[in-house]
Structure 1
Amino acid sequence: MSEINLSAGAAALRRFSWISRSRGQNMRGWSALAIFVALLVAVPILVVFGHVFVPAGEVWRHLADTVLVSYVINTLWLVFGVGIGVFVLGVGTAWLVTMCRFPGRALLEWGLLLPLAVPAYAIAYSYAGMLDYAGPVQTGLRDWFGWSRADYWFPNIRSVGGAAGVLAFVLYP
C-alpha cells in the first residue's frame, strides 16, 4: 500500500516539475534585480566612505578640523533620541490599540499611520513655525496669560532635542 502512495507522489512530482524549474529561473531574475537595486542604493554611501579614507584635497581636513566632530556627535544624539522616542511612542500606542478595547480604537489605529503620509521635513517646518516665538502657540500663551518673554520658558524647537522630538512623532508608527 505504501508503494502505491510513493509512486503516486513521484508521479505528481514529475507532473509539476516544471513549476520548480520556472520558479528557479524567475528567482534568478528577481535576485539579479535585487542586487542591481542594492548596488544602486549602496553606490552613494560607498563613494562617501571612499572619500573619507582617500581624501581629495583640503576639504576633508578642513571639515575634520572645524565641524566634523560636532556633526557626528549631533547625529549620534539625534539617532539615540529618535530611537528612544520611536520605541516609547510606537510600543506604547501599539500596545494600547492591541490590548485595550475602547470607543474609537479603530479610528485611532488608522490615525496612527497618518504621520507617515506627510514628509518629515514638512512636519518639521510646521512644528518650527507653530512653536517658534512668533508662532501661534507662544503668541497665544502670551496673549492669554499676559506673559512677557521673561515670564515663561519654552523649549527650543530648533535644537537637537527638538529635532529628535519632531522626528520621533513622525517616524513612530
Structure 2
Amino acid sequence: MSNWNIWSVSVVLISLLIIAPVLAIFYSAFLGDTSLWPHLFSTVLPRYISNTLILMLGVGILSLIFGVSTSWIVTRYNFPGKHILEWALLLPAAVPAYIIAYTYTDIFEYAGPFQAMLRDIFGWNTAQDYWFPNIRSMGGAILVMSSVLYPYIYLMTRASFLTTPISFFQTGSIYGRNT
C-alpha cells in the first residue's frame, strides 16, 4: 500500500508541475489586469474570434470531404494500387502540422519551385501575368490543416465502412437508393 501512496503523490506533484503554467495564464487573463479586456474587445478580439471560427469550420468541412470520400473509395472499390493508397492516405498524420505548413508555403509561394515552374512553362515574367492563390491566406491555412487532419476522419470512416455489411449497400442499390 505504501508503494501506491508514493506513486499517487508523485503523479499528483508531476501533474501540478505540468498544469501550473496553464493555470498561471488563466489567472493572468481573467483575474489580472481587467483594463486590458475592453481594449482587446474594441481592437483585435472580434477579428481573432471570427478568424478562428472560419478556420474551424473550413478545416472541419474540408477534412470531412477528404476523409469520407477517400475512405469510401478505398473501401468500396478495387483498383490497381489500392493497398498502397490505403497506407499512403495515413502518412500526413505522421508529420507535424507546422512542418507540412512550412513545406507547402515554401513550395507554393511566388518564389517557390511550383510557381517558378509555371512561369518557365508558360513564359510568364511577373506575378501580374497570371493569378495564383496565395498560400499565406485563410484558404491556404484551411487547405494545409485539412491535409494534415483528414487521416483521423479517414481512419474512423474506413473502419465504419469495413464493418458495415455489404448487403446494406446492395439492398439500398436494389431499391434505387444507391450512392
Q: Indicate whether the TM-score tops 0.5.
A: yes
Q: For the aligned residues, what is the CA RMSD?
A: 2.8
Give the whole-Å Cα distance in 1 for the aligned partners of 2:99 and 2:90. 16
Of 144, 161, 166, 1:166 maps to: 144
State the partner residue of 1:65: 42
State the number of aligned residues: 143
State the partner residue of 1:117: 94
Displacement of 1:65 in angstroms is: 2.4
State the partner residue of 1:90: 67
Which residue identity is paired with 2:148?
V
Give the whole-Å Cα distance in 2 for the aligned partners of 1:110 and 1:146. 38
The yes-or-no answer on 1:144 pairing with 2:121 is yes
* TM-score of the superposed pair, with normalisation by structure 2: 0.68
Give the whole-Å Cα distance in 2 for the aligned partners of 1:80 and 1:50. 29
State the partner residue of 2:103: 126
The yes-or-no answer on 1:78 pairing with 2:55 is yes
The structure that has the greater radius of gyration is: 1
- Among the aligned pairs, what percent are the same residue? 52
Give the whole-Å Cα distance in 2 for the aligned partners of 1:165 and 1:77. 12
Give the whole-Å Cα distance in 2 for the aligned partners of 1:75 and 1:51. 22
* TM-score of the superposed pair, with normalisation by structure 1: 0.70
| Residues 43 and 82 of structure 1: CA distance in aligned 2, closer, same or farther (over 3 Å) | farther
Provide, for residues 24-80 of structure 1, a one-character-per-residue CA deviation record: whole Å limited to 9, x for no partner.
Answer: xxxxx9xxx8x9999998877666565554352443333222211111110000000
Structure 1 runs not aligned, ≥5 long: 1-28
Displacement of 1:92 in angstroms is: 0.4
